[in-house]
Structure 1
Amino acid sequence: MRILLIESESQTTAAITTALNAQQYAIDAVDQGQVAIEMVQAYEYDLLIMTAGAELAEIRWCRTLRSQNYSAPILMLMTTNNSRDRVLALNAGADDCLAKPFDIAELVARVQSLLRRRQAVFTSSLDWDALKLYPDSRRVTWQDNPLSLTAKEFRLLQLFLENPLRIFSKDVILDRLWDASEAPGEGTVASHIKGLRQKLKASGITYEVIETIYGLGYRLTPPPDAKNKSTLSSPDRAVLQQEVLAEVAAMQADLRESLDEEVAIFEQFAAQLVAGQLNQSLLSQAQYQAHQLIGTLGSLGLSEGSQVAQQIDQLLQTSGSLGQADAERLLQLVASLSIAIAAAPSIAIPALSPNVDSIRLLIIDDDTTLTKVLRRAAIATGFEVEVATTLEQGRAALRRSYSGEIPPPDVVLLDLIFADSEEDGLSLLSELAAQNSTIPVVALTVRNSLRDRITVARLGGQAFLHKPISLTEVLRVVTKLLNPAPPSEAKVLVVAHESQILEQIIELLPPWGLQVTTLADPEQFWEILTATVPDLLILDVEMPEFSGIELCQVVRQDPQWADLPILLMTSYGDSEVIHRVFDAGADDFVGKPIIPPELIARITRRLEWTRLRKRNR
C-alpha cells in the first residue's frame, strides 16, 4: 500500500511516517501543495493524508480532486476542532477527519479502516476458481459463460463468497436473505441450496461449491487449487511423518551421547554442595541446562525425563539453602534422568490443517533440539518455517521482512531465555511493541511466573506456552491464532451519539457474524431494546439527555434484562468514570478511541462467557 502524506510540520511527518512504516505501508511525504499535485498526477496512491490549514486550501483541492473523479480515500487532518470545518471537509469529498493533536494509534486505525473499505469497494468480482460473481452488475459466470440465477440464489451465492470461512446455519441464512414478512421455514433454505447446486453443476462445475456441515449448516468449499496447495498427498504426508520420527530418534541418540556432559555439570555442582562451596557461574550453567532439558525432552515425547528435569530445576532454584542432602537428591535425579532418556519416545504428529498453507512461522529459540523437531513437525503440517537461535538472528530475520527481502512471518514463537545473551526474549517483544508491530508473538518458554505472563500480556503477546508442551499443542495454538473460529450469530445493540463511532462499529462487527443495530438517539432506547432483543449491549458513557451509565442502570432494574451483557464505552484513564461504570452494573468497558482488535476480543469473550453460563445452569 502506498500513501501520500501532505504535512508541513516535520515532527508530525516523522511520527506518522514511522508509525505507518511499521505497518508495512510505503509513505511519500511532501510539505508543499504544488509538489503534492504533481505527485498525485505522477503516481497511483491508495490513500492521501493531508492537513487542512487555516485557509482551508486543502479542502478546496480535495473538492477539485473529487470533481476530477479521483477515487483514492482522503484522510483530512484538521488544525481546528469545530464541526463547521469538518462538515466542509466531508462535503468536499474527504472520507474521514481527525483533529490535531491526535493519538498516533487512532490515526493508524483510521488509515487501516479506510484501506479496508477501499479494498471492499473496489472488489469488482467475487471469485471461486473460474466462478465469478459481479455484485454491481448482478452477474455470475463460470469460465466466462453466464449463469441464470434467481435473486435469492444470487444473494445466497454472494453470501458464501463474501464469507469463505464461515459456516451458516439455516436460521442465519433465513435472517440474512428473507424478510420477516415472508416467514419461510428451514425447508426453504434447503430447497434454494439444492437449486443453486443444480445450476452450478449444470454450468459445467464438477466440484461441490457449497458443502453441508452436518448438524451445523453450510459453507463454501475451498476451490480445487486451494485444496491442492494446502493438502499434501497421503504418500507425501507419510514421508514427512517418517522424517519427523526419524529426526526424533536421531536427537534422542544424540541426547544419550551428550548426557555425560550434562551429568558432569550436575555432579560437579553436587560435589560443591558437599564441600560447602557454591559457585554462581556453575549454578547458572546447571540451571540453564535444566531449563533446556525440560523443553527438549518434552518436545521429544520423553515426558518422564522432562518431569525429572523439572524436579532438578526446582531444586536448583532454592540455591540459597542447599546442603548435602540436596546434593544426594540431585545425584538421584540425575540417575533417573539417564533411565528416562533411554525410554521410547511418545510423540504425536500434528494433523494437517487445511488453512495453514500461507502461514509463515519464525521460531526464535536457542534450544536447537526443540527447534529442529518443531520445524520438522511444522513443515509436515503445512507451515513455512524459519529458525533463529539467537535474538540477533531473530532481529535480522524481522529486518529482512520489513525491507521486503523476504515475506514477513505470520507468527513469531519466542523463547524468553537465551544462555549466551544478557538480554532475554522480553526485550525483543518490547521492541516489537514500541514499533506497533502487528505480527502476533507467542511466548514459548520454561519460565512460568505470573510476572512473566503479565509482562508478555502488557507487551502485546498473543499467547503464553509453558514448556514442556507437545508439538501438536504448539501448532494448534498458532493455527487457532491466525484462523479464529467466528462467533455464533449474535445480535448487538450499540447506542452512541457520535455517528463516527456507529459507522466504525457497523464496519467492524458484521464480518464476525454479528448482527448490529445502531441507535444515535438515546430517547428511543427502550423501544429499540425491546424490539431487537439483543444478545449484547454497547453504550457510550457520554450522550446528551441520558448517559450510558444511566441507561445501564435502567436495564439492570428490569428482571428481564438482568443477565444481558453490557459494555460501556469511555475514555481511558478516567478512573472515577470507570468505577461508576461497574457500579452501574456493566460487565466490561471499552476504551475510546476504539481499538478494533480489543473491541472484537471483548465482545466475543463476553458472548462466550454468557453462552457457557447458560449451558451450565
Structure 2
Amino acid sequence: MNKSLNKILLVEHDRLLSATLLKVLGTHHYTIDLASDGQAGLDLATIVEYDLILLDLQVPKLDGITLCRQLRSQGYRKPILLLTANDSDADVVAGFDAGADDYISKPCATEALLAMMRTLLRRSKALSLGSTNNPSANILTCGNLCLNLDSGRVTFGEQVIPLTATEYNLLELFLRNPDRIFSRSAILDRLWGFDDAPTDRAINTHIKDVRKKLKAGGLTAEIIETVYGMGYRLKPCPQSASSSSNNPDTDRARKPKSGVGDKSAIDKVFERFRGVFHQQIALLEQAKTALLAGNLETELQQKAKNEAHKLAGSLASFGYPEGSKLARSAEHLLMKESPFNTVEITRFSEIVTGLQQELAKPPVTLTASPVPTILSHRVLVVDDDTALTERLKAESEDWGLRIKIAPNLTTARSRLALSMPDVMLLDLSFPETEEDGLTLLRELNSRSPNLPIIVFTGRDSLADRLAVSRLGAKQFLHKPATTEQIFHAIARVLPAPKTSEAKILIVDDDSAMLATLSALLTPWGLDVTTLASPQRFWEVLISTVPDLVVLDLEMPIINGLELCQVVRQDVNWGDLPILVVTAHTDPESLQQAFAAGADDFITKPVLGPELVTRVLSRINRDRPFLKPGNT
C-alpha cells in the first residue's frame, strides 16, 4: 500500500490521548509532529508546512480558539480540525468563528476521525503546490505540466501523458515538494510499505521512465534533476510554454554553483515574517514613546530588549545588515538597569527611527566569504592534454572537487605513492612513452581494486573496451567530451555521502531565525527539527535523537552555553556534535563557547555557504562530501 504524503500537527496536552493518536495516525502512514501546548503549536505551525492541524481546545499556554484565530490572522490556510470534550453550541460557534474547518467530540471513534481528516485533506487540495493562476483547485503544475488529483491524469498542454500508478505517485511527490532533495531511501519510505519496497535500482528505473514519458509527451526540458550523491529533486518550473521550448539555455544541463543556499527559499521565509519584524519594531516604538514620556516600565523594557535581540540576530540574514547593527545597539541600551539619560533617550529614538527606515528599503544581497570545503573529493587526472586538464582544474571548485594533474604515467605513479585519490581519470594514450594507460590500470587493479577509475580516451575499439572492463574500470568515456560530461562521469562513480536523512536539531528563541536555518538545510536532504522553547530541549533531544545540534548562544531563561554544558555532562550524549550560533566573535565569547563544549561556531548574520559547509563537514568528518550539482 502506498504511503500517505500528508504531514499532521497534533496539538494535545493529554499524554495518553496523544500516544494513542500518534499510534493510530502513524499506522495509517501520516507523518505527525506533537506539540503539548498552544504556544509550541503556534511555533511549529509558523515554521513547518503542515497539511492539517489537529487541535485540542483546552491546551495550556495558548488555548485552541486563540491559537486558531492567531493562525488565521497570519494567513494560515490549511485545514484545522478541533478536538473538544465539550461540544456545546457556544464552543462550536467560537471554534468556527476563529477559523476552524470542523470539529469532532472526544472520545471519538478512530474511523470517524480518519474519515473527517481525509475529507478535510481532499478539500484542501485547492491549496496544493502549483500555479497560483491555475483555475482548477485540484491540479499540481510545473509550467504547462499538469497533474490532476481528481482525475488522475497527467497532461502537458493538451497532450495526455500515460503514467503507471508508481510513476504518477513519484511525480506527485516531486510536484508537492519542489525544494526538497529526496534520497532513494526517502522515496522508498514515502511511496512503499516496508514489506513491498523495491530495490534502490528500481528507483533509478522509475525516475528514468518518468523522464522518458514526459519527454515523449512534449516536455523537452528535464524537470527531475539528479543531485549526485544525494538523490533527486524538482527543477525550478518554467513560467510559460515558451520557457520549456527548444531553448538551449533552458534545456542545457546546468552546472552546480559554488554558492550554497536557496535564495528563493529565504525570500519566502522573509515574506512570511515581514509582518513579525514590523510588530517587533512597533514594540520598540512603544518603548521609545514611553522613554520620551519618562514612564518606561520594567516589563516593557524587558520585552523590547528581547525583541531587539531577535531582530539583531535575524535581520542581517534577510539582507538588512545595518538593521542588525541598529537592533544590537538598541539591545545594549535596553540592558541598562539605571534610568536613561537625555543622550541615551535621543540615541534610542534615533535607532528605532533608523530601523523603520531600514526595513522600508529593499534588502541587499549578502555574499559569503569563501568557506573551504575541506572534505571535497580528490581527483587525479592522468592526461597529457594541457588545455583540457587546465579547464578541468579551473572548473573543479564549482563541483566541490580538488583536482591534481599528472601529465604522464611516471608522474601519476609518484602522486599515487604520496596519497590515493577518491577517483582517477585516466587516458590510455601517451605518445612520448611506449607503455599506455592499460599498464597503470593493470597495476592499480591488483594493488588498489577499490579505487574508482574512469578511462577517458580517443581509442574506441572493442578490444580496448574489453581490456578496460576486465581490468575493473568503472566508466569508459570516449573523447572528445565536454568538461560537464567529464564531471558528471566523475560524480557517478564517487562514493555517496551519508548526510541524507541525517537529523539536525536547531534551538533558537527567534522563529524567523529557525525558519531561515531550516530553509537553508532542508534542501540538502537533512531532517531538520526546530525548537523555539529551550525549556523543552531535553525532551525534544531524547525524542528526536539528532546527529547534530545547532544552538543559539543568547536566549532568555536558558542560554545556549547552559544547554551545551548539559549535553556534555551526560554519559550517553557527551559526544554529540554541537554548533553554536553567535553574533559575538570576540576571543572571550568564543573561549566561553568552546569551554562549554561547542565543537564549532557560526557567526551572525548566518550565510548559507558557511552554515551548510560547517554542518555537513561536522556530520561527515570522516566521510567524503560533494556539493550538490544540477544535471
Larger radius of gyration: 1
TM-score (norm 1): 0.35
Whose helix proportion is higher, 1 or 2?
1
TM-score (norm 2): 0.34
